Structure 1
């Protein structure tokens, strides 16, 4: 039984030393090159970071970035990717939470880094990679490592306006990826077409499936998802066989009739998550790739990527509900009602709860939120059994298959990202022209709607918000109101605003 994901890398480097492990538009690296680079970087990072501490990596996804990730792991630490295109204010919030005075970056991102006004130590990848490997240091770190040690941190949106850092350990990733690659027959013969940003947990399946099996990971440039021809050319030229994409990424191709230009017919496995897959779009994909396995996978960051899967085994029509399927072998998934009773009846909604070794280690330096989300299983009064309450509602259909219903609260899934509407409201409140704000989600049209009191026009408001939140969190619709309607308790009347919007849309 392996105890560190480094054993994935080392095993693949031993079996396929000269095989391409990762490739982007500008560079490639073999498994052995990645192993040697990571050990040098790990030696250098060990001088700046104590084990089990976060290593902030201020870069975009690339061959160079995976070297920094694995270097952080060799140093006994866990990596946190800071997207260079995120607003400076948000990155500063994350750095405050990490409490780190060291950032790892490349010289190509130094102009972006200047916007942060970071006062700490900056370590450049170009210098880290020149450090001679110290096998004694690396061995001593490895000897003290545990399989429960943290591997990576991913920051999700927080309802209080402060991002939450989900920390996931080696054991959780190992248990998940071992099941994932076996269930979907991912092997060293596969080529993974990486769509997801590396600060989004969909990417974990690409990175670690590749490292475990010896599959090559082809890193697709973000801009190609705005140019379907380039995207399809890439998939064909790089001979991609497996894609693990957000639903919204798949819909780009089907919306713009991309398959009439070219069909990447070497793709044999398509796994999708992040949002409810529209049946119309799924059917387009299945029409052009009739011999491909399609899999609907579900799960939040807090349970290591996914907890349920459904291999599409029949035809669906628009309006049908695509099942979530069943739990991965290393996880237990069940529904609880509002009184914490187990839901087993068909067509009755319950909150999706997850137990098992895939649970995250909690939210970094945030014990209050950790205690709220990771709780004792109310069905078990015999021994400690932590579960994660997802806040999502689901039900069992007539076939006994689990199906997604909706969010329990105001946390939403939008453009493949999990978003707390409260964080957008907090960002709007930072603008001096805004007096009050409230956001709702129009699920039918997949739009974030923001109501506000204030003297600012919609275009200026949209431009101003980009300083505080990523583009995918900027509302699609802005509605200016003279005064917010209030309930008898003095709270903004969300139902009244929703009704006004629905009447006027």
Structure 2
């Protein structure tokens, strides 16, 4: 698809373009159904019109309470067509967390399919997805209504809110505009050369920011998004067979999902010659497991992407262009186009090569702030600390990075994961990476017990404690060596497929 040259201001224009150019191409597929671009456009408009009839005004939040599916995706775009913005909610989420999100959000409606938990949503208007789509079309009225809505929308309008965990226990809702998503989808498409023949294998939940790349790059290019059943990630060989059968040729997964495939040696049994792009983000990618992928698929393109939910998804990227030993960390790279990323020392100065500082982002990917949460917004969406001559908003990440000799950023861990131990400042992520490079360890996570002043290494694998200590002595100074080691049969993962550090901290670091 040709570049849009800055003329697009609403993501629905992507669907309209793809429906004209590739009407019969499948847009979204899951195990039960698929929808072509022609059908997607028709259902988006019908749903948008029916929602607009039920809800007065525009720019209202509408919660989507549906399992990951084609229908869930159509709901997002139907809400956008109605002039409102969507909030995807995890249907498996604890009721108390759902209540907290609803209290913060106060949605104009909750959209779902046969929502059973009426009590949880009793204070809100419930819209049934199937009933709305089954309603009469009223073609003339629908066209006029949607035209009026579009005329009053601008690219700075919110497109969605994604809720992330808050340190106080109150979830934070990141507000992202059409413009941020459009600029992001343009950059992704250009850098990785996705087109109408691309088939994304979707791993991440739709309430997780990594899904933004899959969804919006798909509709931008007339490509296809194949929803992979979650259960297959417990059976790596079947997972790869499914990808082969559905012609998946591009993936953007969390490292834990990629590592499962590598650890189970699934690539020895199932070849994926069609897979040309492997992207990863969300947590540190263990180099040892990445090297397994690279050895089996040497012609594929690999890239490490980095960024928080608050800046749409990604602000830094590194396309692998050289070999790395199992012990070397993979850089998180350089800023995306039209994004400024910089890191500042504790003294407030820009870092130089070899120095570490806190990472900041500025530019079009940066979100609008947190919904109904001005205090938290003001804490991290701040004035650029490097200049005070004019308003220049930036997002303060809380991530620590180091600049290497090539001008690439290396992830050093969270600022709140940095500890003071035996008089030294220590990044727990550095210990994790060293342990993760050991062949006999499948997973490793490091936490700090503040009460006992001890570094704890939690690991999944076959190695004994003495073996691990002997291995780490060649990689870490004495003051960084773990003092307690805990072997677990399986590393706990959160709903996004990442290591559940909060659970590990509660279980091993606070007793």
CA RMSD of aligned residues (A): 2.6
Partner of 2:126: 122
Go from structure 1 to structure 2 and tell me whether the alpha carbon gap of 1:356 and 1:7 turns closer, same or farther (over 3 Å shift). Answer: same
Q: Could you list the per-position Cα deviations for residues 103-146 of structure 1 after superposition, in whole angstroms to 9, with x for gaps in the alignment? A: 11102xx33x3473634322111111123251111111100001
Structure 1 contact 346–400 (Cα < 8 Å) conserved: yes
CA distance in 2, matches of 1:35, 1:357: 27
Q: Post-superposition shift, 1:341? A: 1.4
Partner of 1:348: 355
Structure 1 contact 103–120 (Cα < 8 Å) conserved: yes
**Greater RCO, 1 or 2 (C-alpha within 8 Å, sep 6+):** 1
CA distance in 2, matches of 1:358, 1:306: 8
TM-score normalised according to structure 2 size: 0.81
Go from structure 1 to structure 2 and tell me whether the alpha carbon gap of 1:185 and 1:101 turns closer, same or farther (over 3 Å shift). Answer: closer
Structure 2 contact 413–428 (Cα < 8 Å) conserved: no
Partner of 2:220: 212
Displaced runs of 4 or more, over 6 A: 411-414, 437-443
Go from structure 1 to structure 2 and tell me whether the alpha carbon gap of 1:472 and 1:359 turns closer, same or farther (over 3 Å shift). Answer: same
Partner of 2:155: 147
CA distance in 2, matches of 1:395, 1:169: 30
Partner of 2:414: 407
Q: Could you list the per-position Cα deviations for residues 154-196 of structure 1 after superposition, in whole angstroms to 9, with x for gaps in the alignment? A: 0000011100000100000111110111001111111111111
CA distance in 2, matches of 1:442, 1:363: 34
Partner of 1:428: none
Q: Could you list the per-position Cα deviations for residues 216-274 of structure 1 after superposition, in whole angstroms to 9, with x for gaps in the alignment? A: 10011111111212211111001111101111111111111111221222100000001
Matches within 5 A, 1:257-406: 257-343=265-351, 345-406=352-413
Partner of 1:10: 16
* 1:129 alignment partner, SS class: helix
CA distance in 2, matches of 1:164, 1:324: 25
Unpaired runs of 5+ in structure 1? 415-436, 448-465, 481-496
* 1:475 alignment partner, SS class: helix
The reply to whether residue 194 of structure 1 matches residue 202 of structure 2 is yes
Go from structure 1 to structure 2 and tell me whether the alpha carbon gap of 1:477 and 1:356 turns closer, same or farther (over 3 Å shift). Answer: closer
The reply to whether residue 68 of structure 1 matches residue 75 of structure 2 is yes
Partner of 1:28: 34
CA distance in 1, matches of 2:223, 2:290: 26
CA distance in 1, matches of 2:361, 2:36: 37
Matched pairs, number? 437
Structure 1 contact 295–310 (Cα < 8 Å) conserved: yes
Partner of 2:483: none
CA distance in 1, matches of 2:118, 2:452: 32
2:104 pairs with one of 97, 100, 103: 97
The reply to whether residue 45 of structure 1 matches residue 24 of structure 2 is no
CA distance in 1, matches of 2:316, 2:179: 18
CA distance in 2, matches of 1:439, 1:74: 55
Unpaired runs of 5+ in structure 2? 1-6, 419-426, 430-449, 461-493
Partner of 2:170: 162
Q: Post-superposition shift, 1:83? A: 1.0
Structure 2 contact 256–499 (Cα < 8 Å) conserved: no
Q: Post-superposition shift, 1:413? A: 12
Structure 2 contact 291–326 (Cα < 8 Å) conserved: no
Partner of 1:243: 251
